[in-house]
Copies of this chain bind each other. A is one copy, B any other.
Amino acid sequence: MLNLTEIISVPSRLFIGGTVPENYYHDTYVKNIKPVYAVALPKTQEEIIKLVDFAIEKDLHILARGAGTGVAGAQVPLEGNELIIDVHLMNRIVELDEETLTLTVEPGTLVGEIHHYVESKGYFYPPDPASKHSTIGGNVATNAGGLRAVKYGTTRDYIREMTVVLPSSETMTLGSKNIKSSSGYDMKDLFIGSEGTLGITTEIKLKLIPLPKASVSLLLAFDTVQQATDATLAILTSGADPSGVELFERQALHYAEQNLGYPLKSQVGQAYLLMTLDGNNQTELVGRVELIEQIAQETALESHVLTKEEALKNWALRDNILLGLTVFTEFELLDEVVPINKFAELIESTKQMQEKHGLNVLNFGHAGDGNVHTLLMKDDLSEEEWTRKRAALLKDLYQKVADLGGLPSAEHGIGIVKKEYMESMTDEVNLKYMRALKKVFDPDNRLNPGKIF
């Protein structure tokens, strides 16, 4: 008979029943108050295996968790009686292998710490989710994207190898340090983005690339979102190879300007593109900047190549959109994605929904990869109005996303908040086989049940 206090013998790493701290009942936006069985903070894979064995013996559900910075409810206990495995103390950088350009880390390592560490050694880990305080394990669980996906791809593209503990308490290593493989089924990509429903990640080998030695940022201002996205398409096919192409509406930035207390470099127009190019040296960038300036000449109201200081300040405004908004109103943050040529149409349609439903809507997002962050704002609405109008607008919005060939989540995951939309937007055959795959690894539905589908 297993005993939790024997598996985790350090009292500060174990909370049972009523002693479980309040923060384990919510993520950034989603809250649940059903009691959990216990929270354990393992420091080794061996402890995780024992915890899973314990959960099997007691027939408990298991919920793995990192920094709790999720936004879709994937880490929130739903059913009551969960054993929460919080891996945030497994946060060691295990090995930098400079010959194969791989970094081995434990799942609780913060992505900001990974950036800092590898960049100090002359390397680059490109995935760049807005939350630097998220753990790499969480980034793997959601296939986190962020600001540099247009050139460099998402978390998925940088996972060489990962080790997981399965709901059976077996361990399995997926992928390897080898760059290519045609040796059997790719199970690694099945686990990436599975939101903790298939296994608990215990170690990850990341692919690194050489750190770009030069970069430059540009800001373009346009009259309309449509012009900004048309320019985005032209830039993407030009060979200018931007590492980030962020689009935001004037109104969305307004709150960040108020919050930070300084203006965006451009004050004309209604829609902006903020871009970064990176490369080996400044000379290499000159020709690529020219390509963008040529495109901008046709429709942009203004086009600025930013100085280093301006770049910092303007990117800080972009990064402050959400925080700036928090000061003024409650809101819901979405992360829908559409094919890049449908970006403007989607944003345009949210304006019509705003009128129809009487709910203010703002948009910003990663124009280079079609990922819109639509914000629904509570403003002065009563709770009842907010709940009702929001539900009605979301229904319309996800229908529009589906009509445009899009998906409910680009980078935050489905969790619980997008489940019903995921189910309505996904083909029945696909859902059937996803459920069957879940059953292969978790026949007792023990691991993070009730999430995704």
B residues near A337, Cβ cutoff 8 Å: 178-181
| A239 touches which of B156, B212, B338 (Cβ 8 Å) | B212
- Least CB distance from A399 to B in Å reads 15
A308 interface residue, CB < 8 Å from B? Answer: no
A340 at the A/B interface (Cβ < 8 Å)?
Answer: yes
Chain B residue with the shortest CB-CB distance to A161: B405
A149 within 8 A of B: yes
Q: Find the B residue at minimum CB distance from A441.
A: B433
Question: A176 at the A/B interface (Cβ < 8 Å)?
Answer: yes
Q: How distant is the Cα of A239 from the Cα of B236 in the complex, in angstroms?
A: 22
Query: Within the oligomer, what is the number of copies of this chain?
Result: 2
Q: B-facing mask of A163-176, CB < 8 A → 1, else 0?
A: 00000001111101
A55 CB, min distance to chain B CBs, angstroms: 19
Check A370 against B210 for contact (C-beta < 8 Å).
no
Tell me how far the C-beta of A263 lies from the nearest C-beta in chain B, rounded to whole angstroms: 31
Please determine whether A440 and B429 come into contact, CB atoms closer than 8 angstroms.
no
Interface residues of A in 394-431 (CB under 8 A from B): 405-414, 418, 422, 425-427, 429-431
Q: Give the interface centre of A149, A183, A371, A411 by most chain B CB atoms within 10 Å.
A: A183
Interface positions, chain A 315-359, Cβ under 8 Å from B, are 335, 337-341
Residue A193 contacts which of B185, B431, B433 (CB distance < 8 angstroms)?
A: B185
A134 within 8 A of B: no
Contact of B182 with A142 in the complex, beta carbons under 8 Å: yes
Interface centre among A184, A192, A335 (most CB of B within 10 A): A184
A194 contacts the other chain (CB 8 A): yes
Complex alpha-carbon distance, A96 and B375, angstroms:
33
Which one, A1-9, A15-23, A43-51, A278-286, is touching chain B? Answer: A278-286
Let me know if A276 is at the binding interface, CB within 8 A.
Answer: no
Which of A83-91, A98-106, A247-255 forms part of the interface with chain B? A98-106
CA distance A246 to B198 in the complex (A): 39
Residues of B within 8 A of A179 (CB): 149-150, 337, 340, 369-371
Residue of B at shortest CB range from A238?
Answer: B210
Contact bitstring A111-128, B, C-beta under 8 A = 1, else 0: 000000000001000000
- Pairwise interchain contact B434-A440, C-beta atoms closer than 8 A: no
Task: Please classify how large the interface on chain A is, using the bins under 10, 10 to 19, 20 to 34, 35 or more.
Answer: 35 or more
Q: Please, how many angstroms separate the alpha-carbon atoms of A398 and B291 in the complex?
A: 49
Residue of B nearest to A230 (CB): B99
B-side contacts of A190, CB under 8 Å: 185-187, 189-190
Once the chains bind, are A183 and B434 in contact (CB under 8 Å)?
no
Q: Any chain B CB within 8 A of the CB of A233? A: yes
CB–CB B186/A193 < 8 A = yes
Assess whether A135 is interfacial by the CB under 8 Å rule. no
Within 8 A of B (CB), among A199-234: 210, 212-213, 233
A414 CA to B185 CA in the complex, in Å?
11
A413 cross-chain contacts in B, Cβ below 8 A:
182
Residues of B within 8 A of A181 (CB): 143, 193, 337, 407, 409-410
Residues on B with C-beta less than 8 A from A409 are: 181-183
A145 touches B180 (CB 8 A): yes
A34 part of interface (Cβ distance < 8 Å): no
CB of A294 closer than 8 Å to a CB of B: no
Could you tell me the distance between the alpha carbons of A190 and B414 in the complex, rounded to whole angstroms? Answer: 20
Are A405 and B237 touching (Cβ within 8 A)? no
* Interface check A391, CB cutoff 8 A: no
- Please pick, from B184, B407, B410, the residue contacting A414 in the complex, using a CB distance under 8 A: B184
A181 to chain B, nearest CB (A): 5
Q: Does A130 contact B (CB under 8 A)?
A: no
Top 5 closest pairs, chain A to chain B, by CB: A189-B189, A99-B341, A180-B410, A179-B369, A177-B339
Given contacts A179-B337, A180-B370, A183-B407, 5 further A-B pairs with CB under 8 A are A98-B237, A178-B406, A179-B371, A185-B190, A436-B440
